[in-house]
A and B are shown apart, each in its own frame.
Chain A
């Protein structure tokens, strides 16, 4: 090494710095280890290998680096003591030597490295047999990149072969000084400034970056890898195309991957990350070191472009990007202010390795296995050339964002996409789904054929009326009507209607308030053979007139008092005039193909559209519901939906075909939660429907608490997952989510949203009988799972069309391309389907919105605004207010009196369509191509927002420091964001230093990234100052995770705090919610509990408040383990299901009862232990309260941030817990305890897991090479988390498949033992 360093070493290179900060944010992540192994088969010369390796690792200086975290930034220096030496491990005695070696390697790779302490590299040779070896290399990413690993490996092979042959090896690997010198030169080079300008310009418009999965691209602790082989014909085509286009084949693959990603995002453009080796033309080309960069590459496939044009465009972009490829992408992120983990510079990574990297060892067969190439933030597509013309596609996917099956599906789908694209003239010809996926979507998922009698709705109702004439049919306001009476009265009215000219093909308007008469009217219209047309008299006259003019009903059934509103259009037959006895004309019966009802919905052209539904369609829907939910005569179904909303159709008729009771809610009751709750109780309602927004209001009503029903159905709007969960906390009833437009007979899909349903978002589910749901792309091809597309509906429930509008009908009802002779309806909804076939609603593809479940076409409102004559120009948009509710906003030009406009609109539109805000503008903003620039429209004033001046002392302090650090002209507002103001991550560090100087504490870099505004950072600072209201709560959330997985409850050790489980909570894979239970007595107002059993009962109660149903997983360290066992006993006594009960080196009370009373300073010692210090190793520290607190304040422990009162609380709890433990007598827990033993501790003491034998049905013991006091430290956590994670998964699995027994696993870092009690 040259003398260019001083005694303090060198600063990190730019390439290393990015990784350094990434690891600082995630120190326990083992994926910063890169690694590979090579299986060597043949007569390996051990001396030659050892010598070759020793020379190579000496040449590769980066492997001997040691890092220090200095005050002015991290630095590195060479330390020969860190250099790896070959570790030979003989596993030839194992039953399966390869498996034994791989298990050892997996453990090694899963161990995180602290670059300031641990050696960065390890070189290990496993002997599997006399002629079979595995050579594993593990090197921290700070020291090497993928290409560097190849250089090092090739060098070892070169040295080995030279020695075997007796020839001279090639030139030695150059030293690290070349890299450092180049890095230093580039930092100040003009070239760097030019590169920076190129990238800033290329990304000046800050493209929106989408990817294949939503969610934060933050690497988990592992990844899924799934690989497929690209077939030979495709590889040959790839090479032929490369030759024909003069584009290197790796660039062709990158371009096609971009097209593939774009298919999934549906955005106009995607940004890929393309790893760049950064070595061409560099003196450092042959140095094994970290030089790799990731280039963000923007790709916007043009619709209709030829394949050759597309590939050429992308390839030119790649060449340009590589010319500026030295400029670090981390620096570009800072330049672009893309700070914070959620903000992406690029989506998926595409890494093409055109060489076969397997080294050649003389006389040996070699097989290369790359284990990890660094963190997998999101998803990486790697193409590896191998052998003669082999090409393997590997997908590495972040398990927080993708399942293993999804990774495999992407591998297969991308493989098929590449094959098809390389044979296509244009990309547009290529389907995104594989043929198998398309087949499954069209066939299997829509296999809904079910025989339904071909009868009319009328016939079904008449059958019920004949079969149970005495049974109650309808209840309303205390009155009741039997089926016999309904039969009689509806028959009488039907003949009167027939006499008035109603019959098959005709329409009768119905505009009655909810009443017995309304039901009689509907049944009578059907029995007359006509279709009913519901009208809402709350609508303005003008709208009613337009509907009546288009539908032309023969007669209207309405109250006499309302007759005036129909006068010019249609004669009214009021209930007073209805006959009570049948007679006269016998009406002709309708046929299944005749219309049953006509419902008008909002139309985009400004004209409401009448949807005509035939009997056959609605009979399918009703019969499906009756059978699917087993609706029988004992059901009492409430009717509360206005008849103009098609949900009312099943409310009216499902009870009438099932012989059940139809409970008609009083008029207007549907808006009144109190009245509804009262009605439900009084009438013993079993089944009800709610639009989700109304359900939310209903659940908030105290009168609704604890109601029990059989079924609640939701439809009309998206059902938020949070609302589903709140529902099950509030009511006892099945919850079902239904979906469908008026154009397809109410509902076409269903999803059971029961208490166990964890789906987010809640699906609209699966198709009902004789119905097909298609998710199609723009070219009407079926999409694969997970990919958004247009939702089309097909099957027997489709409407006949729009009344009198063949043009609109033809536009929305198209020939079904998959079933000859049938039609499909373009729903206008965007959706995707999950791998299980459940469909997820994503939103509208047009400007239609829903307000309180009612369809609103913004075009209809715009038409009304323009027709007011008060406005020159207008734009109507839907916007969300601060509470997230959908609101309609009208932007108008040329109006002076908004009030007058509002009045005009109210006279023309139903109330829910009248804009909630009218904003007057001088002109509408337009984009360059003349379209309305929606983004430039000012936010309506639903509520006052604006820059708030910093108020609290902390806010004023933070604002002042923002201003100083960022050199701002003026003091920022409370809402201003550190990064938006120009801060970068280095300034962030400096900001935190200033905070620490000012107040003696800072909330950490992670907190600044998570809460970058003045107000939020100040709040984080205050939280630290007063953790009594924050980190000391009895239940704290330590980690978020897959909501489908039952959470883990971690019970505090002696000190009462559960913070120590933070590392474990974040390390568990897959991630699940982890809650910490903390001693309530940390708060000075809370009394100490009388007994440990009482405390356990209290914890059981708190746990059940968080989660009402099991299984409950528990973990506890030390005293926490004693409590975990006691809580498990308590939960079992309550009949709850208990999952895993994990004890971290906790021994039963019996072990402690006889111990001497603790010394007076024991609590202070415990406090030190909680903070991670071994009190016996701090002999210089006086064990007084003041000195211990001062010590904690000076150390890094989070305890140091606690107030004195809170620390007193901890001391009190420690003392109290000691007493509780001694006084506790265990009950037996009828399950297994999973015991993690601190195997390095308890020398000479009789502390063994077997002490639990009398108090558990079984004990499973896992040895952890750790001291008791370090059991929640980083090293022990890395060993415990995988075992615990597997135990949790196995427990849940065994619940799902009771026939599968849990197999014990050899996964502990030291020897596992199994002690059966």
Chain B
């Protein structure tokens, strides 16, 4: 049985969000190899659905970034998403 208190501790330390981490997270969600995720590929065609996309955005927000799912929804490609994240990171300085 999983002890719920264990999970939080594991989740807390976060690496900064990078293009490559986003690629890895997307690949894991789709059960693909990261090399399969091209920056311009439509993630919808790769099998991403809204609930999974939302979960990714939710996960990436945990590091303190102010990410809005609706912006991600407009252009579901890795390049498009990285642009949103990079813009937010720049904002936070």
- A interface, CB within 8 angstroms of B: 147, 151, 154, 232-233, 236-237, 239-240, 242-243, 246, 248-251, 276-277, 279-283, 285-286, 318-319, 322-323, 325, 352, 354-355, 423
Known contacts A236-B8, A240-B7, A286-B71; is A249 also within 8 Å of B44 by CB?
no
> A173: nearest residue on chain B (CB-CB)?
B70
Contact yes or no, B70 A251, CB < 8 A? no
Residue of B nearest to A151 (CB): B70
B51 at the interface (CB under 8 A from A): yes
What is the CA–CA distance of A277 and B69 in the complex, to the nearest angstrom? 12
Determine the chain B residues whose CB is within 8 A of the CB of A151 once the complex forms: 70
Which residue of B has the minimal Cβ distance to A238? B4
With beta carbons under 8 angstroms apart, the residue of A236, A243, A282 that contacts B4 is: A236
27 of the cross-chain contacts (CB-CB < 8 Å) are: A151-B70, A236-B2, A236-B5, A236-B8, A239-B7, A240-B4, A242-B55, A246-B31, A279-B70, A280-B48, A280-B50, A280-B53, A280-B73, A281-B42, A281-B44, A281-B73, A282-B74, A285-B73, A286-B74, A318-B51, A319-B49, A319-B52, A322-B50, A323-B49, A352-B51, A354-B51, A355-B58
Give chain A's interface secondary structure class: helix
* Nearest chain A residue, comparing its CB with the CB of B45: A281
Distance of A389 from chain B, by nearest CB (Å)? 8
The 9 A-B pairs at the shortest CB distance, nearest first, are namely A236-B4, A285-B73, A322-B49, A280-B50, A248-B55, A285-B74, A286-B70, A281-B44, A248-B51
Contacting residues, chain B, for A154 (C-beta < 8 A): 68
A1221 to B73, CA, bound (A): 69
Give me 9 other A-B pairs in contact (C-beta within 8 A), A251-B51, A280-B73, A323-B49 excluded.
Answer: A237-B2, A246-B29, A279-B70, A279-B73, A280-B44, A281-B76, A282-B73, A286-B74, A322-B50
CA–CA, A1045 to B71, complex, Å? 52
A-side contacts of B54, CB under 8 Å: 248, 250, 354-355
Instruction: Report Cα–Cα, A355/B59, bound state, in Å.
Output: 11
CB contacts (< 8 Å) of B58 on chain A: these are 354-355
**Residue among B52, B75, B76 making CB contact with A248, cutoff 8 Å:** B52
In this complex, what residue of A is CB-closest to B48?
A280
Quick one: CB contact mask for B63-91 with A, threshold 8 Å, 1 for yes?
A: 00000111101111000000000000000
How far does the alpha carbon of A239 sit from the alpha carbon of B59 in the complex, in Å?
Answer: 12
Chain B positions within 8 Å of A281 at CB level: 42-44, 73, 75-76
Do B55 and A354 touch (CB < 8 A)? yes
Using Cβ atoms and an 8 Å threshold, which residues of chain B touch A237? 2, 4
Report B-chain residues with C-beta under 8 Å of the C-beta of A325.
Answer: 50
Q: Is the CB of B69 within 8 A of A233?
A: no
Q: Give the interface centre of A236, A237, A280 by most chain B CB atoms within 10 Å.
A: A280
Q: A1029 vs B50: C-alpha distance in the bound complex, in angstroms?
A: 57
Shortest distance between the CB of B49 and any CB in chain A (Å):
4
Alpha-carbon distance A351/B48, docked complex (angstroms)? 19
B2 contacts A240, C-beta separation under 8 Å? yes
Compute how far the CA of A1149 lies from the CA of B69 in the bound complex, rounded to whole angstroms: 67
Interface residues in B16-62 by Cβ distance below 8 A to A read 28-29, 31, 42-44, 47-55, 58
Residues on B with beta carbons closer than 8 Å to the beta carbon of A232: 4
B92 contacts the other chain (CB 8 A) = no
Complex CA distance for A242 and B2, rounded to whole angstroms: 12
Per the bound structure, the CA–CA distance linking A940 and B73 in Å amounts to 59
Q: How far is the CB of B89 from chain A (nearest CB, A)?
A: 16
Give the distance in Å from the alpha carbon of A279 to the alpha carbon of B70 in the complex: 8
- Rounded to whole angstroms, the CA-CA distance of A251 and B53 in the bound complex is 12
The docked-state distance in angstroms from the alpha carbon of A355 to that of B71 is 15
Q: What is the distance, in angstroms, from A675's C-beta to the closest C-beta of chain B?
A: 72
By beta carbon, the residue of chain B nearest A388 is: B8
User: Considering only CB atoms and an 8 Å cut-off, how many residues of chain B contact the other chain?
Assistant: 30
Chain B: interface secondary structure?
helix
Nearest chain A residue, comparing its CB with the CB of B29:
A246
Complex CA gap A1028/B84 in Å reads: 70
Which residues of the other chain, A, contact B55 by a CB distance below 8 angstroms? 242, 248-250, 354
Chain B neighbourhood of A280, CB < 8 A:
44, 48-50, 53, 73, 76
> How long is the Cα–Cα vector from A154 to B4 in the complex, in angstroms?
32
In chain A, what residue has the closest Cβ to B57?
Answer: A355
Q: How far is the CB of A284 from chain B (nearest CB, A)?
A: 9
Complex Cα gap A19–B8 (Å): 43
Note all chain B residues with C-beta closer than 8 A to A240.
Answer: 2, 4, 7
Q: Please tell me if the beta carbons of B50 and A279 are within 8 angstroms of each other in the complex.
A: yes
CA distance A999 to B10 in the complex (A): 76
CA distance A324 to B34 in the complex (A): 26
Most buried by A among B1, B58, B68, B70: B70
Whether B1 contacts A423 by the Cβ 8 Å rule is yes
Instruction: For the complex formed, measure the closest distance between the CB of A133 and the CB atoms of chain B, giving whole angstroms.
Output: 24
Q: Contacts of B1 on A, CB cut-off 8 Å?
A: 423
Interchain nearest-CB distance for B85 vs A (Å): 15
Contacting pair A283 B47 (CB below 8 A): no
What chain B residues lie within 8 Å of A318 (beta carbons)? Answer: 49, 51
* B74 surroundings in chain A (CB, below 8 A): 282-283, 285-286
Report chain B residues within 8 Å CB of A355.
Answer: 54, 58, 69
**Chain B: CB-nearest residue to A233:** B4
Q: How far is the CA of A343 from the CA of B1 in the complex (A)?
A: 43
Q: Which residues of B contact A249 (CB under 8 A)?
A: 55
List B contacts of A239 (CB < 8 A).
7
Smallest CB separation, A185 vs chain B (Å): 16
Also in contact, A322 and B51, with CB within 8 A (given A236-B7, A285-B74, A354-B58): yes
A250 touches B51 (CB 8 A): yes
Q: Which residues of A contact B31 (CB under 8 A)?
A: 246
Whole-angstrom CA separation of A451 from B8 in the bound complex: 58
Bound CA span A251–B50, Å: 11
Cβ contacts under 8 Å, A354 to chain B: 51, 54-55, 58
Report the minimal beta-carbon distance from A1112 to chain B, rounded to whole angstroms. Answer: 55
Q: Which residues from A are CB-within-8-Å of B73? A: 279-282, 285-286
Q: How far is the CA of A286 from the CA of B73 in the complex (A)?
A: 8
Looking across the interface, which residue of chain A has its beta carbon closest to that of B4? A236
- Point out which of A279, A283, A318 has the most chain B C-beta atoms below 10 A from its C-beta: A279
Closest to A254 in B: B51
CA distance A322 to B54 in the complex (A): 13
